[in-house]
Amino acid sequence: MRADRLVAALLLMQARGRVTAAELAEELEVSVATARRDLEALSAAGVPVYPQAGRGGGWRLLGGARTDLSGLSSSEAQALFLLAGPAAPATPEVRSALRKLLRALPATFREGAAAAASAVVVDPAGWGATGKEPPDAVRVLRDATVRRRRVRLAYEGRDGRSERLVDPYGLVDKDGVWYLLAGTERGRRTFRVDRITGAEPTEEEFERPDDFEAGAAWQEVVEEMERRRSTVAATVLIAARFVPILRDRFGRHCEVVGEEEDGRARVRVAAPMAVTLAEQLAGWGARAEVVEPEEVRTELARIGAELVAGYAP
């Protein structure tokens, strides 16, 4: 996992003082390109790592070969924990590494570093759409989450544009689409970050509820959304090579449940309505055979009849 590689890379540079991408790749058993991207990620996040060109060059920690991790500044420590923290719940080794690193930091930095480690949740399962570059507001919201500062949001929701003052509890990266978990005067709410048109941090501090845990809170959101999005399910027979494409379209609402004698995969897909499922499957033509339910088959027949009526010579 990338997070433990980043921590390992930093500890390796602390021990050696200098390391090349090739040496790091050999130590971590990854490609040189992957090692180079990890080093660049540390540098871009604000960790004091820099490349040195020429003979005897490589990547170094600012301050020399024996730099102590306690020499990190507060913002640098937070940057490292933001990179590593999202993977920690799933990786005992990363949790252990973060605990050791946390103890090595000055006491005044520990609270901010610990807050950074829990500021972002990574959910790799998409909902049928993926993002590209993180929205500009992510950096502002992440900083406000770590610093516990209220944020004034301008938000384009389904009911139009609104402005509100929120307490940013945590961020979620869901397969490239970002969400903000926040406290409001009406309770906890979830906002899609790409619909935030303005995010202005204030100097007003807030207290995050003692029982709030970002991963658990996001799981509640996911379960509620799943109930809304999967009220109708269909069984589809399709060539196994097309399953990744189908899964990319339906996200977690696509599940392989078996295999036919002819080699086709038996897949279960779900959507809020039968017509929605039919519309998404119609483009597959004869390559996808809907076995059930009958209401989805009926909708597909209707769509087919409309296409024939409109386009047949």
53-95 pLDDT, tens per residue? Answer: 766 678 877 654 343 455 555 555 555 555 555 544 445 555 5
Does residue 32 fall inside a structural domain?
A: yes
Instruction: Tell me how far apart the alpha carbons of residues 200 and 149 are, in angstroms, rounded to a whole number.
Output: 10
Token pair belonging to 307: 């296409």
Round the average pLDDT of the chain to a whole number and report it: 78
Label each residue of 210-234 as H, E or C. CCCCHHHHHHHHHHHHHHHHCCEEE
Helix locations, the chain, DSSP H: 2-16, 21-28, 32-44, 74-84, 92-104, 107-117, 137-147, 214-229, 243-250, 274-282, 294-311
Domain identity same for 266 and 248: yes
Domain total of the chain: 3
Domain-embedded: residue 220: no
**Beta-carbon contacts of residue 14 (< 8 Å; ≥ 6 apart):** 61, 66, 67, 68, 69
Tokens 């999005």 found at: 229
Domain boundary among 215, 245, 265: 215
* 91-109 mean pLDDT: 56
Q: 157 and 104 in one domain? A: no
Residue pLDDT, tens place only, 20-56: 888 888 887 888 888 888 888 777 666 777 787 766 6
- The CA-atom distances, in angstroms, between 156 and each of 86, 88, 122, 136, 266 are 28, 33, 24, 15, 40
pLDDT, residue 117, reads: 54
Which tokens belong to 109?
């930095």
Is residue 225, in this structure, part of any structural domain at all?
no
Q: Are residues 160 and 244 in the same domain?
A: no
Provide the 3-class DSSP secondary structure of residue 167: strand
Those residues whose C-beta lies under 8 Å from the C-beta of residue 131, and which sit 6 or more positions away, are 175, 176, 177, 178, 194
* Same structural domain, 6 and 111: yes
Does residue 131 belong to any structural domain of this protein? yes
For residue 294, what pLDDT is reported?
95
Residues 153 and 251 in one domain: no
* Residue 201 domain-assigned (yes or no): yes
Residue 80 lies in a domain: yes
Greatest extent of the chain over all pairs of C-alpha atoms, in Å: 79
**DSSP codes of every residue in 24-65:** HHHHHTS-HHHHHHHHHHHHHTT-SEEEE-STT-EEEETT-T
Q: Are residues 253 and 281 in the same domain?
A: yes
Same domain, 205 and 136: yes
Closest CA to 166 of 129, 137, 131, 127: 137
Q: What is the pLDDT of residue 264?
A: 94
From 93, 117, 141, give the residue that closes a domain. Answer: 117
Asked if 120 and 173 touch (Cβ cutoff 8 Å), the reply is: yes
Residue 59: strand pairing partners: 19, 51
- Residue 43: what pLDDT? 74
Is 223 a domain residue? Answer: no
Percent of the chain with pLDDT strictly greater than 90: 26
Whether residues 184 and 104 fall in one domain: no
Are residue 161 and residue 95 in the same domain, yes or no? Answer: no
121 is written with which tokens? 């949740």
In terms of domains, do 12 and 112 share one?
A: yes
Q: Residue 295 above 80 pLDDT? A: yes
d(CA 144, CA 91): 26
Q: Is 128 exposed, middle or buried (0-12, 13-18, 19+ CB in 10 A)?
A: middle
Above 60 in pLDDT, residue 130? no
Task: Specify the pLDDT at position 87.
Answer: 47
Verdict on whether the full-model pTM lies above 0.85 = no
68 and 98 co-located in one domain: yes
Distance CA(284)–CA(241), nearest Å, equals 13
199 and 182 both lie in a single domain: yes
CATH classification at residue 273: 3.30.70
Which structural domain range is residue 252 located in? 230-311
Domain boundary among 168, 192, 215: 215
Find the CATH number of the domain harbouring 95: 1.10.10
Task: Identify which has the larger pLDDT, 303 or 225.
Answer: 303
Q: How confident is the model at residue 203 (pLDDT cuts 50, 70, 90)?
A: very high
Whether 222 maps to a domain, the answer reads: no
d(Cα 280, Cα 250) in Å, to the nearest integer?
9
